[in-house]
Structure 1
Amino acid sequence: MNNFIYYNPTRLVFGKGTIARLSKLIPAGKRILVTFGGGSVRKNGVYDQVTKALEGHERFEFWGIEPNPSVETVREAVALGREKQVDFLLAVGGGSVIDGTKLIAAGLCYEGDPWEIVLKGQASAQLPFATVLTLPATGSEMNSGAVISRHETREKRAFYGTYPQFSILDPEVTYSLPKRQIACGLADTFVHVLEQYLTTTGQSRVMGRWAEGILHTVVEVAPRALSGEHDYDTMSDYMLSATLALNDMIRMGVTQDWATHMIGHELTALHGLTHGATLAIVACGTMRVLRDQKHGKLLQFGERIWGIADGTEEERIDRTIARTEEFFRSLGLSTRLSQEGIGEATIAEIERRFNAEGVAYGEAGNVTGAVARRILEACL
């Protein structure tokens, strides 16, 4: 196991009725900017709960943080925050609203353009902020990262350094989510774990078993989460799995991949596909192309998650990849680029972008533009 430092200051407030605790969790006297997405919180009762909880607090609202939040929208929110002299932010929504709010929090402490923070990859300061999570998927409610798009140049990049002070997770708010959003959230959670787990064997038994526990849980709860039955325990497990998949808990001292995510970000930037949907397409292509490099872990993954223990090692790996693709299809998601009408032109552009940046992703640092092309070609 490699050396590591683990730090996570975010307080997790989990359970029924916890939105009402906002009034006590946010210090009195704060000028609050509450950020929202497109308005679904008005339909599912979350807006009313938040408004009631914040009675007596001075607050302002910013609406319109879009899926795959853009720096163009963030700039508008930063301008409003400065005008109103806010000193606390509350993100009410899913990962996109939270990611956008992270850049708003950093942008309000920065004199230049917020995109410069994204390009640096690290925020140097931020206003305090908190979240009310409505869509489990990204884990942004308990980590320091955010991913921001720039429409002007069709880019999508990550930056780090902004933790929420606290995050409220009430599983009942997930009852109104469309099936498609739940499916993408499940895929996002599953691949977040794979990026930290499906690398090399023998690094940490603890990290491996924790990761496998989350993978098993996602597979187990997926059918019922998609059934619309509004089962509290099921949605609790789904919601908490999404948080634990990316709060740094399962990657202590082990190598990580993230090539699938970086390729997926480009598909979102170029075609507007939902993040989780891109991961369902790219993940198995990554396994196919890097099967030799990930040989031992693919065998472990197949046996411990899918129960694949018979046959030659190569046969077992083939069945493991096929079973993973079958899982994504069971969520109702595309698993091939051709299903989304994406072909050679996009592959060439992503290869060009990787080469222009001089990047090399993956646990071995070998996913260059050429390898990204091979992965995408394996997803056709």
Structure 2
Amino acid sequence: MTTAHTTPAKELRISRLDKSYAMSRGRSVPAVRDFNLTLAPGEFVTLLGPSGCGKTSVLRTLAGLEDFEAGEILLDGRSIARLPAHQRRIGLVFQNYALFPHMSVFENVAYSLRLRREPDRQVRADVAHALEAVGLSEFGPRLPGQLSGGQQQRVAVARALVMKPDLLLFDEPLSNLDAKLRVQVRAELRRLQKSLGTTALYVTHDQDEAMSLSDRIAVMRAGRVEQVDAPEAIYARPATLFVAGFVGKVNALPGRIVARGADAVTVETLGHRLEQPAVPGAPGPDVLVLARPEALQLVEPGPGMPTGTVEMIEYLGDRTEYRVRVGSTQVTVIETALARHRRIAEGEPVGLAFVARAIHLLPPEAGTPS
């Protein structure tokens, strides 16, 4: 895929957005509440969250397909909140691609330009550039039914690009592809967005997509943003237990601070003591000790370490997942499948070792519903 972006990348700023849906008998259901998010020029940000959290409502509101009650939307400092959809210079890539099956790839991409009555010479030049951008220069005469799912998805992207948008919006565009093709196409999407430099907002409930595509991820819950950060920070340093549990698996263990230093604390969990960086703003001794399954290791039982019994083992090809009972607590441990030389059996006693640098502490209130 080769092309150059034709317009400077724009900043998107969404402030205090509220959006509700009307119900019967005058009732309404809030979908988005006090939503705030800023995208830097050329940044790729993903809205990640469970179904019903409001992420698609945000996207449709930005595109001008939904109205809203309060808030402001600024694109490069200019309000677009009350502009009709066709005046917003926003490209939207839908989940189902919405290609016309009776039109060629060329005419699908050209459709919006022809609606605007652009000169034919300009249409041909713009469509050629858009198809080149997505690596489909030779596919213009074909019908959508003659393309693979990944190629159809790229046609949908080309149709959005041909309008020279200031902002690209993606509404779960890979959900209709099989697992292997999804991995391939998301890598192409990432390369394409970076080569174009267009500011992009992507919606998905798939954490792997969010992690692999994004400069930053905004994790949503019940219409609000719980945390916005780089993928690595979202995974390693989640702000709440909800974020930790939605983005990967996590062991949330009760802990207690038993000693404090200038920059570190000693935390006790599962009868074991760990040295950890101090928790900013943690007033009391009680904390949540977040340990990703790969931050625990199974070792020979020994003094000074938590010991437990393996209750279940799942072999998953590239990794093995263990459920270990330590007293009244069950913890999950994940190892790469080739890491262990001796097979562990269910019912076997094991020791648990913590990878201390991979442990994250939260105040107890971060684990309560918002």
Q: Same fold (TM over 0.5)?
A: no
Indicate the structure (1 or 2) with the bigger Cα radius of gyration: 2
TM-score, structure 2 as length reference: 0.31
| Structure with the higher fraction of residues in strand conformation | 2
TM-score, structure 1 as length reference: 0.30
